[in-house]
Structure formats: C-alpha cells, structure tokens
Amino acid sequence: MKTFDLGEKIVFSPEKPIKRHFVNAKGFHAAIICLKKGVEIKPHAEDYGVLLTVLEGKGIFTGSKGSCPLTRNQGIYIKKGEIRGIKPEEDLVVLGIQDRGKELK
C-alpha cells in the first residue's frame, strides 16, 4: 500500500499546464493536472481513455460530443481516440486517471 498527499502535487505555471504523475501501474496512470486561469489544453485526441475529476476550481471540458462546465467533485470520462480539452475559468486542479488497459471487444 502506498499513500499520497495530492496537495503536495499542486503547482501552477502562468505559461503552461503542469501534469504531475504519481501512479504508473499496469493498466492505468494517475496524475494531478494544474491549470492557471488563462492557460488551457487545446482540444486534441489521445491514444488512451481518461477519467478527469475536478478537485479544485472550475473549467470548461471539451469532448467529442461538445463542451460542458465542471466544478469541484464533478468529472467526465473521455474514450480512447476522442478529443479532449480543458479551459479553466479559474485556477483549476484535476485528477486524471488514464485508462491504459486493453479494450474489450
């Protein structure tokens, strides 16, 4: 068993998003993503699914079916290959869990 103080992972940059991985396990990765207001992750596709959960702040999250606002304790799952983007409306801290497992057929 391993414990984590996620508060220690929170770091903001006025120029770029900060992603700090803290678990790299078989099948999934976990990271804290910190975005200062005005710093966004433009919509793009990735080769993994991801569960994004807001820990602090609020922002607009974009997926292939459009955009939605999320705030503390709300989340969104985006499938492998789908676009994803984040635009913070205030300083934003997100827990990202990347699904690196094999897809069921």
Give the pLDDT means over successive 10-residue stretches in the chain (105 positions). 94 97 93 97 94 98 94 96 96 95 57
Distance, in Å, from the CA atom of 11 to the CA atom of 38, rounded to the nearest integer, reads 15
Distance, in Å, from the CA atom of 104 to the CA atom of 43, rounded to the nearest integer, reads 26
The full set of domain ranges for the chain reads 22-99
34, burial (CB in 10 Å: exposed 0-12, middle 13-18, buried 19+): buried
Q: Residue 11 has what pLDDT?
A: 97
DSSP string of 41-73, one letter each residue: EEEEE-SSEEEEEEEESEEEEEETTEEEEEETT
Q: What is the pTM of this model?
A: 0.91
| Homologous superfamily in CATH for domain 22-99 | Jelly Rolls (2.60.120.10)
Q: Residue 104 has what pLDDT?
A: 47
Q: Which of 48, 61, 66, 46 is nearest to 92 (CA)?
A: 61
